[in-house]
Structure 1
C-alpha cells in the first residue's frame, strides 16, 4: 500500500513539474535555457520524491492485512481513513489540479500572443500546428480529470461508508480507477511527444520575442543617454 500511494503522489507531482517546466520555458525562455542552474532539475526531482515518501509514510503505520477467504488484502485502518482521504485529496489532487490547469492556461495565453490563431498568407501551417498544440493540451487536461476524479470519488465513498457489501464492491471499483490513473501516467509521454514540435516553436517564438525586446530596450536606453549627453553639451 505504501508503494501504491507513493506512486500516486509521485505521479501527481511529476505531472505538475512537467506543466511548470513547460510554462517556465515559455514565460522565461532566456532564464530557462541559459541561466538556470544545472542542479535545479535534479534537486526538484529529489524533493518531489522525498515529499511523496513523507506523505505516504502514514500507510506504513495504519495499514493492516485482512485474511478474506484465504487471500490477504492490505487495507488502511478505519480510524485514520478520513485523515488519509483529506490528505490525499488536498495534496494529491486539488493542489496538483490547480497547478496543472493554471500552467496550461498560461501556456495557451502565451502561445496565443506569440502565434496567430488563424492561418495567414505568411504562416498558414504555423496556425495549424498551434491548433494541434491546443488540442493536445485539451486532451491532457481531459485525461487528467477523467482518470483522477473517479479514483477520488471512490476514496470519498470509502471514507464515509464504514461497512457493508458496498464497501467490499467499492474496492474493485477503486482498483479499476487506480488502473486508469496508471494508464494516464503512461499516456503522458506519448501526448507530450505529439505536442513537442508545436511547443518547441512556441518556445522559440517566445525566446526570439524576449531577445528582441531586450535589444530594443537597450537601443532605446542608448539613444536616450546620447540625447541627454548632447543636450547637456
Structure 2
C-alpha cells in the first residue's frame, strides 16, 4: 500500500537545518510527490528573499558589532558577551549564500559532502551558542544583583572570556551529531541532482535529535533565564531600584527576539515527527517549515539592530557616531552599580555601628 503523502518519505532535502524528509526505503506516491514539489517551488521564493536579507543585514550588522566591541571599545564583561553573540551570528549568516544557491538550484547541492555537514552544523552551533550566551548573561545579571560585592571583585573580562570559551565548547558538543547525520546523495527522482539531507536510519534517531535539541536548545536555557530575570525584577522592586536602564532592556529585547524566532521552529519540528502517522500534516509542513525556518534564521541579523535602537538616547548619539550608539547599548548595567553602591553603603554603616 502506497503512502498517501510523499513528504515524510522523500530522501530529498532542502536548505533548512533539519527539514522534512527521512531517508527510509518506503514506496513513493508519485502524484503526491509532484504536487508537493510544485507547491514547494512556489513557496521557496519566500525563504530565498528572507535568507538574502538576513545575509546582508547579518554580515554587515554583526561585522560592525565585532569591529566596535572587539577593537574600538574598552574590554568589559558586557562587551565580551555581545562580541561572542555577534561572532556566532556572523559565522552563520556568512554561509547563508550556500543555502540560497541550494534553493535556487531546486535543491541541488553542488558544494560537496563536507560543506553540507559544515553548513548545518554552523546553523545549530549558532543556536546553542546564542541561547547559552543569553543564559550566561542572565546568570551574570543575577549574580551582580544578589551578590554585588563579590561581582565587583571577581567579575572580570578575563573570567568572562573563559566562560564564553566554555559556552563555545558546549555548543560544539551539542551540535556535533549533525556532522554524523548530515549527508549527500543523488535525488531519488533525478539522479543528476545531489541532495544535502539528514540521514536518519530510523524514526528513533530522528525523535532523539528533535527532542534533545528542544530540551538542550530551548527548555533548559529558557527556564534558567526566566528564573534569573524573575528574581532580578523582584529584587530591584523590593529595593526600589526600578530606574530605567537601557542595557537591561537591550538584553531583554534580545532574549524575547530569540524566543519568538526559534519557538515556531521547534513546534514544527515536533509536527514533523507526527507527519508519518498523520499524512494530512504533509501540507502543513510544506507551508510551515520554510516560514518558521526563515524566521529562525532572521534572528541572526536582529541583534545588531536591537543593540542600536535600544541603546540609550540612540537618536542623539547617532548624530555623533554609530560607535557612540553601540557603546551605550554595551554599557554595564546601571542597576548593578546601584545595588553595589547600596550594599557598600550598608556595609560601611554596619562597620561604623550605625
- TM superposition shift of 1:160: 2.3
Structure 2 partner of 1:227: none
Structure 2 partner of 1:35: 154
Asked if the contact 1:64/1:76 (under 8 Å) is kept, the reply is yes
> Unmatched 5+ residue regions in structure 2?
1-119, 313-327
Asked if the contact 1:20/1:103 (under 8 Å) is kept, the reply is yes
Structure 1 partner of 2:37: none
Structure 2 partner of 1:203: 336
Residue-by-residue CA offset, 1:40-74 (whole Å, 9 max, x unaligned)? 21221111111111111111111222545636333
Asked if the contact 2:128/2:171 (under 8 Å) is kept, the reply is yes
CA–CA distance in structure 1, aligned partners of residues 352 and 224 of structure 2: 38
1:55 to 174, 184, 189: 174
CA–CA distance in structure 1, aligned partners of residues 236 and 227 of structure 2: 14
How do residues 181-196 of structure 1 correspond to structure 2 at under 5 angstroms? Answer: 181-187=299-305, 189-190=307-308, 193-194=311-312
> Unmatched 5+ residue regions in structure 1?
118-126, 224-233
Aligned pair 1:180/2:313, yes or no? no
SS at match of 2:198: strand
Structure 1 partner of 2:352: 219
How do residues 79-90 of structure 1 correspond to structure 2 at under 5 angstroms? Answer: 79=202, 80-90=205-215
Aligned pair 1:74/2:197, yes or no? yes
- TM superposition shift of 1:142: 3.6
CA RMSD of aligned residues (A): 3.2
Asked if the contact 1:23/1:103 (under 8 Å) is kept, the reply is yes
SS at match of 1:74: strand
Q: Larger Rg: 1 or 2?
A: 1
Q: 1:71 to 1:193 in 2, by over 3 A?
A: farther
- TM superposition shift of 1:90: 0.6
Determine which structure has the larger helix proportion and give its number. 1
> TM-score when scaled to structure 1?
0.74
CA–CA distance in structure 2, aligned partners of residues 82 and 165 of structure 1: 20
CA–CA distance in structure 1, aligned partners of residues 247 and 239 of structure 2: 13
Structure 2 partner of 1:92: 217
Asked if the contact 2:261/2:298 (under 8 Å) is kept, the reply is yes
Q: 1:134 to 1:31 in 2, by over 3 A?
A: closer
CA–CA distance in structure 1, aligned partners of residues 170 and 335 of structure 2: 32
> TM-score when scaled to structure 2?
0.51
Q: 1:166 to 1:71 in 2, by over 3 A?
A: farther
CA–CA distance in structure 1, aligned partners of residues 198 and 304 of structure 2: 26
Structure 2 partner of 1:231: none
Asked if the contact 2:128/2:217 (under 8 Å) is kept, the reply is yes
Asked if the contact 2:265/2:296 (under 8 Å) is kept, the reply is yes
- TM superposition shift of 1:109: 2.0
Q: 1:60 to 1:29 in 2, by over 3 A?
A: same
CA–CA distance in structure 2, aligned partners of residues 107 and 188 of structure 1: 22
CA–CA distance in structure 2, aligned partners of residues 59 and 44 of structure 1: 24
2:140 to 2, 13, 21: 21
CA–CA distance in structure 2, aligned partners of residues 16 and 200 of structure 1: 16
- TM superposition shift of 1:181: 3.1
Asked if the contact 2:307/2:329 (under 8 Å) is kept, the reply is no
How many residues of Structure 1 are paired with residues of Structure 2 in the alignment? 210
CA–CA distance in structure 2, aligned partners of residues 11 and 35 of structure 1: 24
CA–CA distance in structure 2, aligned partners of residues 160 and 147 of structure 1: 22
2:229 to 89, 97, 104: 104
